[in-house]
Amino acid sequence: MSATALIVIDAQESFRHRPYFREDDVATYIARQQALIDGAVGAGMPIVQVFHVEDEGPFAESSGLVQTLAPLRLSPDVVFAKRRHSALVGSGLDVWLTSNGIRRLLVSGIRTEQCCETTTRHACDLGYGVTYVGEATLTFPMTDASGRTWSPAEIRARTELVLAGRFARIATVEEALSGEPDALAA
């Protein structure tokens, strides 16, 4: 098994039922996420799918919406459920990674600045080499306390800025799949 795993975080239908959800960037995200998944499969990397779950609402397993965001296609090697922002808290993911000799992660999914960024920071702190594939993440506009609305592109740029060189290597899909080692690898 490869020492690198692709982590696909919260790419789930639940988001379509949140008031902030916008279709604007979904097609581009799906295309880049699918290219990353397909490339990882071709490279023999394990695919880890993580779903966010809550007790009620669209993230409740009973809602029927905790399923892969359409039309994304993946056949994960393993699936985890999480209740926190980091996919490494309380899900069992860290145990699986360790027991399978995984030391490098490619991080992708939804939302750019929340679960993807938090998992990246946490993974780095645990000693994993992390490649953050921003173009294979999705987020939605957010309004700050002063009333300024930040676009998804601005949020992604800010996220990549604060992660780069500190917590992860920032890469395109093609760069992530190139096999180049991370500068921050353990």
Average model confidence (pLDDT) across the chain = 95
Domain 4-177 has CATH 3.40.50.180: no
> Domain spans of the chain?
4-177
In the three-class reduction of DSSP (H, G, I as helix; E, B as strand; rest coil), residue 4 is classed as strand
Q: Could you tell me if 14 and 53 are in contact, meaning their C-beta atoms sit under 8 angstroms apart?
A: no
Could you read off the pLDDT of 88-127 as tens digits, one per residue?
999 999 999 999 999 999 999 999 999 999 999 999 999 9
Strand, helix or coil for residue 170: strand
Cα gap 89→29, rounded to integer Å: 25
Note down pLDDT in tens along the chain; length 186 residues: 789 999 999 999 999 999 999 999 999 999 999 999 999 999 999 999 999 999 999 999 999 999 999 999 999 999 999 999 999 999 999 999 999 999 999 999 999 999 999 999 999 999 999 999 999 999 999 999 999 999 999 999 999 999 999 999 999 999 999 965 554 443
Tell me the whole-structure pTM to 2 decimals. 0.95
Q: Please name every residue paired with 48 in a beta bridge, in sequence order, or none if there are none.
A: 7, 78
Token pair for 16: 């379509």
